[in-house]
Amino acid sequence: MTTVESSLSLSLDRLAQAAARPAENVEALKTIVARVHSRLKVQENGGNGPTCLKNAREKKNLVDMLFYKGKCNKICQDYIATCNQKDQLFILKRNSDVHTRMDTLSCLVSSEKMALDYLVRVIEHCRDPPLVGSVCALLHDALSPSNKGDLRNTVIQTCLSLNAAEVILRTLKALSAEGLAVIDPCIHPAYQVLAKLASKDPKLAVKARLVGGVKLTHQLLQAHMKNCVPLLPLLMVTKYLAKNSTNQVMLGKDGCVATLVSILSSVPKTHWAKIKFIMETLALLTKAKSNVIRLVRETGLQRVLSILDAWEKIERRHQVKVIKGILGTLSHMCDSKHGRKAVVALNGVEITQRFIQSCPADKKFDNNLANATNVFLKCISKGELPVSSSWGAFTFQVPNREGSETSSDRSREATPGVDVDSSDEEAEEEIEDEEEDFELSQDFKGIDLASDYCPQKPRMEELVKLAHLFPELFNFRIASGTRFKEVAVPIRRGALNDVIPESHNERYIRASDCTRSIINFVKVAYPDMVGARGPSHLEELYEKDRRVCRNKAIATVERVLHPEVYMERVVYDLDYLLESEHSRHLITPSSNTSRSLGNWDEKRVGKRDASVTHLNFESRFESGNLRRVIQASNTEYDLILNADVNSSHHHQWFYFEVSNMEPHTPYVFNIINNEKPNSEFNYGMKPVMFSVCEAMKGRGAWVRTGVDICYHKNHYSRIPKSHDNVRFKKSVNKCYYTATFTVTFPHAYDVCYLAYHYPYTYTQLQAYLNKHDSIERASDIFYSNQSLCHTLNGNPVPLLTVTTKENVKEKEVIFLTARVHPGESNASWVMEGILDFLLTDTAASRLLLQNFIFKIVPMLNPEGVIHGNQRCGLTDEDLNRRWRAPSPSLHPTIYGAKSLLEYLRSISKQKVRVFCDLHGHSRQKNVFMYGCSRMQSWWLGDKEFLDHPDFMLLPRLAQSCMATFSLRDCHFQIERTRESTARVAVWRQFEIPMSYTMEASTCGCDQGPYKNYHLSPKQLQESGEGFCVSLSYLISTPEALNSRLRLNSDRLECHMRVVAERSLGDFTQEVAFWSGDLDDDLDTDDDLDLDLYGPV
Ligand SMILES: [Zn+2]
């Protein structure tokens, strides 16, 4: 042991002794702390550096790095030899300083010495401000970013585990009881340490409040307003405290807004770091409406705006953050009427606009530009969407709602123009399949699952009537004369007897004759008729060009400022078309829509419509969605989507025909009434296009298309019309989003189709099943296509049963459903992959069918699919939020599917091994599943029992069987808001441990062999086949199963870690986050990033 080390070791031993009774050993402690600290003092990299290195920061870093590693090796020695004598001395001195410092740090954090524990104990128990100050100063140097590497990490983690920040605040609070001035000697170092720890301790804002640290910090801020030294750390800590919403209100009441405004006016104009923290804190405080009023009253807004007005003068390295703080503040101001008025009155709109126009093109300013555009859009008077009603163009008279246990609530909710008590504000929030919060189901208000849980069950006499839907249990006879039979899909024996097999086109047209719709369609879409799929090659994701988003943001502002430049000519109007054929008004289920539809696109190709000077549009076909088109310029069109039937929202899915295009012309399409705040259009997704001309040349396929793709906020507001549902009124301040893309069509005067995703219509499913109905099968295979029930508009809902004919009564059941959400056509493509696998006689499919009975409902929401809805059926209800207690009259498909599960449980007593509901996901990549883990349930009652060992089994198998699958994206939480989804309701009510939702991205993959490629029907079908392969491992021997699972054990371990971290909560996540990224500035928050076009 060297003398240096031994004397340090001695000091630390003395520290341990003295810290046992700190109050009695103040002087001794001071000496010890000073001695240790002197070894830790950070050598500033000031002007005394060696001449040869002066302009070579990188070389210095290289040298530092070599020294830190503790060995001055050959390269280093050679390097030193090239320096002059003065530099050599400097380097050697530095080398020894660094060594001393690192050795000291190692001793401090060594678990044996527990030095940091003793130091924190000294702060906690001594009542001597100068001693507290010197301990804090020592800690501050130990936390210095110039201590690169793991040691500093360890110091920070140890401080956090010792709760050092809270201890410091508690001590300061106690000492200041005798007057604020008492703690003057230690304020600066104490707040320096607090500032360092605050960014790493997400709970500090709350802990500080509990020990009186929030008020204290504000008092100190007031007292030291003009005291340059401690002001910066004080401001920094204030910012972190202001992140908590309770603290925001509290600080506001204490006058913190006035304090900050006053500091802002007194602080020298060059102290940009301080100004930065003031702005960032104001941006947080103004999240509370009361503080918006205070800021207006304190006349702080002028100063804030004047800084933005002269933003070029801000010191370069603080520019982005100061502007970010200002824009965050302005944005919060604009959320209230009062604040918006003040911003407008002080020329905030012009100043923001000037900033937008002068904003540098540098990437780091992209968020500033987005936020500024956002502020601008919030300020200007909002335009209403140019459409007659935000209520959708299609309405349907919902039959009497009797029979539903929540009928009184529901009938009011789903009837246009009728008031409802709008307690489900969340419905207006982000809606996303399973992953985002949707509505907190009315059914669950105040329900304690333990005592009140009594799901509605069909009565026994009702259940026995379902026997005909289980032909496999009754000698494979498909019963006739049931109430389903009379309206079941007609079996088309005629086709079977024909010599020439029926073509897809004929089969599709014939099937479409049987599809009932509530409006009169005018055609069958060409791609559906010919059974279009994707191309044979993979298609890359769109590489986002940030300049596109910049330009779109600037253009959005320009367009508001100069509307006169735009044409604003309506070129397609669905409402008018429906009205003019007198079909606007209610069409009851009995109406006859059985006239035969066809397609004449091939005859139209190449012919110019000379009567108009614009593109022509059409959406009156199955799954079509486009309500109105407004031509903005010769080549730019604003498109408005139709809402779901009987609804005023859920705009996302689109599918329309476009024709009369000029050659080689890029056309800009802006879909201007999207509701979701972000979209995969910002992360690589392209829309799909089909060209009839290409199809006639033998290249008919849906292809990904478009450039200049961007999804951003626009200036239209969602203001309700007088006859709109009142729950909508809550969204007065909400805006719409534009999905924009530019398409150059492959041929002039072609007929093309554009869609959100590869369409898959109800008729397409029927045509597919008709084909399979007529196929001769091996005698031991049983396949039946029956009608589960009828939809509200009288369309039959197919129920398929597939198995082999032996031992049926002993077999377990695999129950699969899909397409409850009509806008998720990808689910149908995956389902088709599954059906292809099961209905093609191979050894692999036989193995599955020998072991399982497959009960499949491939389309749970035909009405939504037929009418081009995004989310609902005909009743403006999300059917995947009705599984807990579906109504037989309003949700017949869900009620029917659940009744089958009940039949299996109580009558045929067959075990359901797997339940899986297929969905499409519009905000995530890959294919993944959600399952149910008791340990991750919102309800404590679930945690009383251990998880079933199989709850994760299928996703684990899928990971090894599907190229598109990502275990990392799976989760197993049971959220309160998901109780009425298929996954959770089936898990809970039927006690099926392997109950899943499987999601397939509408975009593509970010991992695996398809990384950075779109998913097309081919990959989606492949995923369905892979799903079946995963199922087949359920029947393999335990050894085979285990070896299969071992294949991906590495990935699994990684996943388990993620799951464990998630369940440990925020704190762990935060630690995991920063441990990798310490040298980044303390300031890593991006919570002020208001989203115009997503994180850049
Ligand atoms: Zn979904």
Distance CA 562, CA 585 (A): 38
Distance CA 427, CA 731 (A): 10
| Three-state DSSP state, 997 | strand
Distance CA 1005, CA 990 (A): 34
Residue 654 Cα to ligand 1 midpoint, Å, equals 16
Task: Check pLDDT > 90 for residue 684.
Answer: yes
Split at pLDDT 50, 70, 90, the class of 849 is very high
pLDDT at res. 727: 47
Residue 919 Cα to ligand 1 midpoint, Å, equals 4
Specify the pTM: 0.77
CA atoms 265, 271, 273, 274: torsion sign: negative
Residue 644 Cα to ligand 1 midpoint, Å, equals 15
Residue 1079 Cα to ligand 1 midpoint, Å, equals 41
Q: What is the dihedral of CA 753, 759, 763, 765, to 10 degrees?
A: 150
E-strand stretches of 745-833: 751-755, 781-790, 796-804, 812-818
**Using one digit for the tens of pLDDT, what is the confidence trace for 284-304?**
999 999 999 999 988 889 999
Residue 881 Cα to ligand 1 midpoint, Å, equals 11
pLDDT at res. 734: 72
Answer whether 148's CB lies under 8 Å from 101's CB.
no
Q: Which residues pair with 689 in a beta bridge?
A: 703, 754
Distance CA 727, CA 426 (A): 10
Which of 97, 96, 98, 91 lies closest to 151, judged by CA?
A: 98
pLDDT at res. 431: 36
Distance CA 1092, CA 678 (A): 9
Residue 37 Cα to ligand 1 midpoint, Å, equals 60
Residue 922 Cα to ligand 1 midpoint, Å, equals 9
Residue 951 Cα to ligand 1 midpoint, Å, equals 21
Distance CA 49, CA 64 (A): 13
Answer whether 682's CB lies under 8 Å from 710's CB.
yes
Q: If DSSP states are collapsed to H, E and C, what string results for 480-503? A: CCCCCHHHCCCCCHHHHHCCCCCC
Which of 857, 863, 787, 793 lies closest to 822, judged by CA?
A: 863
Residue 828 Cα to ligand 1 midpoint, Å, equals 12
**Using one digit for the tens of pLDDT, what is the confidence trace for 19-52?**
888 888 888 898 888 888 888 775 544 444 444 4
Distance CA 559, CA 957 (A): 52
Residue 822 Cα to ligand 1 midpoint, Å, equals 8
Residue 821 Cα to ligand 1 midpoint, Å, equals 5
What angle, 0 to 180 degrees and rounded to 10, lies between the N-to-C axes of helices 337-345 and 300-309? Answer: 50
Per the prediction, the chain carries an average pLDDT of 82
Residue scoring higher pLDDT (951 or 46) = 951
Task: Check pLDDT > 60 for residue 72.
Answer: no
Task: Check pLDDT > 90 for residue 55.
Answer: no
- Name the CA radius of gyration of the chain, rounded: 34
Task: Check pLDDT > 50 for residue 1089.
Answer: no
Residue 937 makes CB contacts below 8 A (sequence gap 6+) with 943, 973, 974
pLDDT at res. 63: 58
Phi, psi of 441 (to 5 degrees): -50, 135
**Using one digit for the tens of pLDDT, what is the confidence trace for 693-735?**
999 999 999 999 999 999 988 888 876 544 444 444 444 447 8
Which of 999, 951, 903, 996 lies closest to 435, judged by CA?
A: 999
Active site (catalytic) residues: 999
Distance CA 298, CA 329 (A): 14
pLDDT at res. 481: 42
Residue 860 Cα to ligand 1 midpoint, Å, equals 11
What mean pLDDT comes out for the span 328-335?
Answer: 91
**Using one digit for the tens of pLDDT, what is the confidence trace for 1028-1046?**
999 998 887 777 777 777 6
Residue with token string 């080689």: 664
**Using one digit for the tens of pLDDT, what is the confidence trace for 957-980?**
999 899 999 999 999 999 988 999
Which of 935, 920, 916, 944 lies closest to 852, judged by CA?
A: 916
Residue 205 makes CB contacts below 8 A (sequence gap 6+) with 214, 240, 241, 242, 243, 244, 247
Residue with token string 């037989």: 888
Split at pLDDT 50, 70, 90, the class of 66 is low
Residues surrounding ion ligand 1 at CB below 5 Å:
433, 821, 824, 919
Task: Check pLDDT > 80 for residue 459.
Answer: yes
Answer whether 753's CB lies under 8 Å from 446's CB.
no
Answer whether 924's CB lies under 8 Å from 997's CB.
no
Residue 827 Cα to ligand 1 midpoint, Å, equals 9
Distance CA 198, CA 204 (A): 6
Distance CA 429, CA 438 (A): 7
pLDDT at res. 1088: 24
Structure tokens at 656: 């329309």
Task: Check pLDDT > 70 for residue 366.
Answer: yes
Phi, psi of 367 (to 5 degrees): -65, -35
In one-letter notation, the amino acid at residue 298 is E
